[in-house]
Structure 1
C-alpha cells in the first residue's frame, strides 16, 4: 500500500452504514365516511394517495428521524361521495454513518423511506380492512422519482421567485 506525503497510509472510504433503531406510528386517523352516512350497496372506490416526507437530525450523533406521511382518500367512482380518509404519519429513527454530508439529504429522503415503506403498506392494508373495506395494498413508491420531482419543483419555484 502506498503512503501519502505524511508517511501514513491513505484512508479507504468506509461504506455507508444504516441501522433502524426504532419505527412507530406518530399519528393516524381513519374516518369511515361511508358507514357514517349509512350508504348501502356495491361501491367502486377511486383511491388517491398523497405522500410527503420529512427528515430531521436528532440530538444524538448520527441519528435521524424520517417521517413518511400518507393521505389516502377514497371516493365512489359513480357518485364522487367520500368513502374513507386515512392519514398516517409513520416515523423511523435511523443511525447513519459514513455518508458524506452532501449526500445525506437524498439518503434520508430516498433510502430511509424505502426501508420503512413495507411496514406502512401493512398498516394501510390492516386499517382499511378493519375499517370494513377491501384491504388497500399500496403500490411500491418510487422514492427516487419523488425526490427528483420535489427538487425540480423547488428549483422551479426559486427560478420563478422575483429577484430583490
Structure 2
C-alpha cells in the first residue's frame, strides 16, 4: 500500500510559484467631495469593480497578472460621487509544474489571491491620505469571480454567432 501512495505522490506535479515582483502599473484618485461646496454630513455607499488579466511573458515560466480595481464612493440616496479610485496592480510570477489545462484558472485565481493583500493596503492608504476614512476592502472570492466570468463569456459567444 505504501508503494502505491509513493507512486501517486511522485506522479503528482510539484507546483512552484514565486512572486518575482509587484508594482502599481497605474493609479488615479479623485477626491470629488473636496471640489464641491460642503453640504453637511454624507453617508458613503462604496462600489468596487474588479477585473483580472494575465499574460505569458517572453521569459520561460514567467507570467504577468494584473488586478484592476475601480472603487467608487457615492453619497447614499444620490448618485453624487465622493471619490473615485482606479488602480492597476501587477504581479510578475515564476510558475512551474502547473498543467497547461489548469494554467488559466491558476493565473486568475491563485495569483490574484497572493497579491490582493498588497492591493488592499494601497486602497486603505490612498483613501486615508485622500481625506476619507481608510477603506478596508472585504476579501474577494476569486474562484467565484472566475466562474462568473466564464459563464459571462459562454453566454456572450452564442450571441456573437
Distance (Å, rounded) in 2 between the aligned partners of 1:78 and 1:157: 33
> Which of the two has greater helix per residue?
2
Q: Give the drift of 1:40.
A: 4.5
Counterpart in 2 of 1:85? Answer: 84
Task: Identify unmatched segments of 5+ residues in structure 2.
Answer: 5-9
Per-residue CA distance 1:72-128 (angstroms, 9 max, x = gap): 000000432110000000000000000000000000000000000000000000000
Distance (Å, rounded) in 1 between the aligned partners of 2:14 and 2:155: 34
Q: Give the drift of 1:42.
A: 1.4
Give the alignment's TM-score, normalised by structure 2: 0.91
Counterpart in 2 of 1:31? Answer: 30
1:56 aligns with 2:55: yes
Q: Give the drift of 1:157.
A: 1.0
Distance (Å, rounded) in 2 between the aligned partners of 1:51 and 1:83: 19
Q: Give the drift of 1:38.
A: 2.9
Work out which of the two has the higher radius of gyration on C-alpha atoms and give 1 or 2.
1
Distance (Å, rounded) in 2 between the aligned partners of 1:79 and 1:14: 53
How many residue pairs get matched?
A: 154
